[in-house]
Structure 1
């Protein structure tokens, strides 16, 4: 029986949960996720979990933050002057915005805090700093 190795294209069903049990993503109701193992298309811990699996195998794996979306970095949290927001915009905690850097790259940020003269923006990935648990089923090695 063929086991998964780097370079294989695979199809998997998955259910991703946080440590509190809440679901953050799932393939339920959708076609299986297809990608090349070891190519960086998915987080490292997910890639690693597939190594050696056979078609039909199911497993549950907990991936530490370092092998998922990394640790949350204070360098990705910035204070932005509230006066630079459009007059007709009322910043609120949890609001998602898009910004661009000096090279023109767009990236998402979330308003973490609204202060009197500034807004605290968090550009960390929403799952940064979190350990993730996945139920994985290997559907096919293509």
Structure 2
């Protein structure tokens, strides 16, 4: 039986949940996630879990926040006064916005609070600070020709 090893292209189906049971992502209704083991295309902890698995094998995996999107960092919060916002903008909590940095790069942020005269933005990944649980199943393994 062929087992996944570094350099193999693997395809997995998964259901990702949070501690409260909420599903944050799933491949149930779409194509499996495909990646090359050892290429750093997914979390290292996910790669490590798949190594040694065979097609059809299932596994549950808990990835702590530190090994997923990292901790939720207060330094990634930004509060702006309404006079710093574009004229006519009416941001709402949960809305995604992009700030243009001085070098021209775009920084994605999420509106988390709108109060009289100011808005608070969060630059953390929405899953930062959260442990992630994956129910995964290896769909296929293919070896690259050397």
TM surpasses 0.5: yes
Task: Name the counterpart of 1:77.
Answer: 77
Q: Bigger CA drift: 1-10 or 48-57?
A: 1-10
Q: Bigger CA drift: 122-131 or 107-116?
A: 107-116
Task: Name the counterpart of 2:17.
Answer: 17
Task: Name the counterpart of 1:90.
Answer: 90
Question: Alpha-carbon deviation of 1:71?
Answer: 0.7
Question: Alpha-carbon deviation of 1:88?
Answer: 1.8
Task: Name the counterpart of 2:106.
Answer: 106
RMSD: 1.4
Partners of 1:76 and 1:56 in 2: how far apart? 41
Task: Map Cα deviations across residues 49-107 of structure 1 (whole Å, 9 max, x no partner).
Answer: 11211111101111100111111111111112211222322122211111232332223
Matches for 1:26-65 after TM superposition, within 5 Å = 26-65=26-65
SS at match of 2:46: helix
Question: Alpha-carbon deviation of 1:119?
Answer: 1.2
Large movers: runs of 4+ above 6 Å: none
Task: Name the counterpart of 1:68.
Answer: 68
Partners of 1:85 and 1:103 in 2: how far apart? 19
The TM-score normalised by the length of structure 1 is 0.92
**CA gap 1:49/1:71 in 2 versus in 1, 3 angstroms:** same
SS at match of 1:75: helix
The answer for unaligned runs of 5 or more in structure 2 is none
SS at match of 2:75: helix
Task: Name the counterpart of 1:140.
Answer: 140
The answer for unaligned runs of 5 or more in structure 1 is none
For these two proteins, the number of residue pairs brought into alignment is 142
The TM-score normalised by the length of structure 2 is 0.89
